[in-house]
């Protein structure tokens, strides 16, 4: 019996890339442009085109399913419109009503807190806005659930729409100081 040697990667997905390798939409940037990945590679979960940060890739479908599961925390830093309030953070923690695929549901309880300083991320290629439009703030949100654009929907539901979104942690794997577009191959994904 032949033992299959799977490959695993940690990447910092830049703004403007789809979390895919093949798509039928012209003029879209795909992950395959960042590195010469092996055949059969897949993203473990997704980040939408406008989101940035930590993305794990593997050729192992069982590992992908395990990491996407509800036992693994995913932490995000969201830059929001306005100065987020303690009341809004408490609502995020308890769960808010959002709509996915035309179905309303309450998000599961999560961890959330305001960040006292702006994270040291490089400026985005496409400018978000400037100070004339009012203040912004950053919030950390840690989930074990992951619906389509969930963090963006959650912050909007409490009155603070997301302007910029980074995934900074999946389980024990952190984005740390990885630069946008950086790819690291690892022996195994120790989440």
48 is catalytic: yes
Distance, in Å, from the CA atom of 186 to the CA atom of 48, rounded to the nearest integer, reads: 24
Q: What are phi and psi of 155, to 5 degrees?
A: -65, -35
Q: Which residue has the tokens 């019996």?
A: 1
75's tokens: 């932490």
Q: Which of 48, 60, 81, 87 is catalytic?
A: 48
Q: How far apart are CA 72 and CA 143, in angstroms?
A: 9
Q: How far is CA 118 from CA 34, 123, 146, 171, in A?
A: 27, 11, 24, 22
How far is CA 79 from its chain centroid?
Answer: 13
Contact 69, 81 (CB under 8 A): no
- So which residues are the catalytic ones? 48
């Amino acid at each position: 019996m032949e033992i299959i040697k799977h490959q695993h990667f940690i990447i910092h997905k830049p703004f403007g890339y789809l979390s895919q390798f093949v798509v039928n939409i012209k003029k879209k940037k795909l992950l395959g442009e960042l590195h010469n990945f092996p055949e059969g590679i897949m993203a473990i979960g997704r980040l939408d085109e406008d989101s940035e940060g930590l993305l794990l890739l593997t050729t192992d479908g069982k590992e992908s399913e395990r990491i996407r599961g509800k036992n693994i925390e995913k932490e995000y830093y969201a830059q929001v419109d306005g100065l987020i309030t303690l009341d809004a953070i408490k609502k995020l923690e308890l769960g808010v009503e959002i709509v996915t695929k035309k179905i309303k549901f309450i998000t599961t309880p999560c961890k959330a807190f305001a960040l006292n300083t702006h994270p040291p991320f490089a400026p985005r290629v496409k400018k978000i806005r400037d100070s004339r439009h009012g203040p912004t703030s950053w919030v950390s949100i840690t989930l074990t659930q992951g619906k389509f654009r969930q963090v963006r929907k959650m912050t909007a539901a409490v009155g603070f729409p997301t302007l910029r979104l980074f995934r900074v942690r999946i389980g024990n794997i952190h984005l740390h100081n990885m630069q946008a577009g950086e790819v690291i191959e690892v022996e195994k994904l120790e989440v």
